[in-house]
């Protein structure tokens, strides 16, 4: 079965706004992250290094395709994004690098993909932007095989009181300018979506995390 629900108007509006924000910044996206990419690149390699050979992988929010250089040759990847302008850059990158990947425009909150059809779902810096992250993560749970795995690289709200409050205060500016929230509890959202959090490793302070999860026992709950 694939997701077919029609989103309520408020959800559709929030998704359209988020999509527009990423379309707007697509041309300068790689440049805007150039300074941090050496660090992010190390984390990307660590994440992709966890994926067993032969896996069928779904990458959500592929963006301009920065993870492509880390795809292990032995896996098959379907990669999706809801922003046509980000996606067209990913298509260009895949062609240029001769990367074997199936790219499609798709909303994480309504994946047009069959139940239990992937071994691993990957997303890097995405669930900070998905308008309804729990809905998106429930979709991840649906498309994962029962013995599958979700691997996320995310920045989250700091648990340090002063820093956390500062992030809350700055969040509306970040959303408006860059399209992403800086104060989400993504580890909590993974659990709320009915996935089991196996590990959440701190990569930098308590803000950048590598989250390793799996469909919780008793699919269909939560």
Ligand X SMILES: C[S@@+](CC[C@H](N)C(=O)[O-])C[C@H]1O[C@@H](n2cnc3c(N)ncnc32)[C@H](O)[C@@H]1O
Could you say whether residue 189 binds ligand X (CB under 6 A)?
Answer: no
Q: What is the DSSP string of 197-220?
A: EEEEEEEETTTEEEEEEEEPSSTT
Query: Per CB under 6 A, which region of 71-79, 120-128, 141-149, 168-176 contacts ligand X?
Result: 120-128
Q: Strands, E, within 75-185: which ranges?
A: 76-81, 101-105, 118-124, 144-155
Residue 105's DSSP bridge partners are 81
Work out whether the CA dihedral 126, 42, 91, 150 comes out positive or negative.
negative
Could you say whether residue 81 binds ligand X (CB under 6 A)?
Answer: yes
Tokens at 174, concatenated: 């970040």
Give the number of other Cβ atoms within 10 Å of residue 54's Cβ: 10
Could you say whether residue 86 binds ligand X (CB under 6 A)?
Answer: yes
Question: Which residues from 6-45 bind ligand X, rule CB under 6 A?
Answer: 18, 22
Could you say whether residue 150 binds ligand X (CB under 6 A)?
Answer: no
CB 150 within 8 A of CB 120: yes
Among 126, 144, 156, 167, the residue binding ligand X under the rule CB under 6 A is 126
Least distance between ligand X and beta carbon 52 (Å):
21
Could you say whether residue 71 binds ligand X (CB under 6 A)?
Answer: no
Could you say whether residue 186 binds ligand X (CB under 6 A)?
Answer: no
CB 60 within 8 A of CB 120: no
Least distance between ligand X and beta carbon 168 (Å):
20
Among 61, 148, 194, 213, the residue binding ligand X under the rule CB under 6 A is 61
Positions that interact with ligand X (CB under 6 A):
18, 22, 61-63, 66, 81-83, 86, 107-109, 124-126, 129-130, 136, 180
């Amino acid at each position: 079965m694939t997701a077919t629900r029609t989103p309520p108007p408020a959800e559709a509006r929030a998704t359209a706004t988020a999509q527009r924000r990423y379309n707007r910044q697509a041309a300068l996206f790689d440049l805007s992250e150039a300074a941090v990419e050496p660090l992010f690149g190390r984390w990307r390699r660590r994440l992709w290094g966890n994926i067993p050979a032969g896996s069928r992988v779904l990458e959500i929010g592929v963006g301009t395709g920065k993870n492509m250089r880390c795809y292990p040759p032995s896996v098959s990847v379907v990669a999706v994004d809801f922003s046509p302008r980000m996606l067209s850059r990913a298509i260009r990158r895949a062609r240029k690098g001769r990367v074997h990947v199936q790219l499609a425009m798709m909303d994480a909150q309504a994946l047009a993909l069959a139940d239990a059809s992937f071994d691993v779902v990957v997303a890097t810096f995405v669930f900070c932007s998905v308008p309804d992250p729990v809905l998106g993560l429930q979709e991840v749970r649906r498309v994962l095989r029962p013995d599958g795995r979700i691997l996320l690289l995310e920045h989250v709200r700091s648990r340090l009181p002063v820093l956390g409050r500062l992030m809350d205060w700055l969040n509306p500016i970040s959303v408006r300018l860059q399209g992403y929230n800086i104060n989400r509890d993504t580890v909590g959202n993974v659990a709320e979506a009915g996935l089991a959090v196996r590990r959440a490793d701190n990569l930098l302070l308590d803000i950048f995390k590598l989250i390793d999860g799996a469909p919780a026992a008793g699919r269909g709950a939560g």
